[in-house]
Amino acid sequence: MSYMTGTKYELYRVPLLMRTFSGMKFKDICVILYAKMSLIVIGLDVKVGNRIKVFLNPSDYILGETDHMCYMINH
């Protein structure tokens, strides 16, 4: 992929709602969102203690009983 091709992509920070994704692994959510909407999910905000940390590709992370923010690329 060339630099000019990559400039057409946009990065968004959007919510993953607990009511939709609770109990699912991050990697399974990625597959679903790509198949249904062509969205590439690359990361996730996770609360660790009293801080929010960004994790890139936390593939086996299971979403719990709270909403999360994710980072996705739309092309």
Contacts of 70 (CB under 8 A, 6+ apart): 13, 14, 15, 16, 29, 41, 43, 44, 45
Q: Residue ranges per domain, the chain?
A: 9-74
For 30-61, write each residue's pLDDT tens digit.
Answer: 999 999 998 999 999 988 889 999 999 999 99
Q: Which CATH class is domain 9-74?
A: alpha beta
What's this model's pTM, rounded to 2 decimal places?
Answer: 0.83
Q: In whole angstroms, what is the distance from residue 46 CA to residue 54 CA?
A: 6
- Specify whether the CB–CB gap between 30 and 41 falls below 8 A: yes
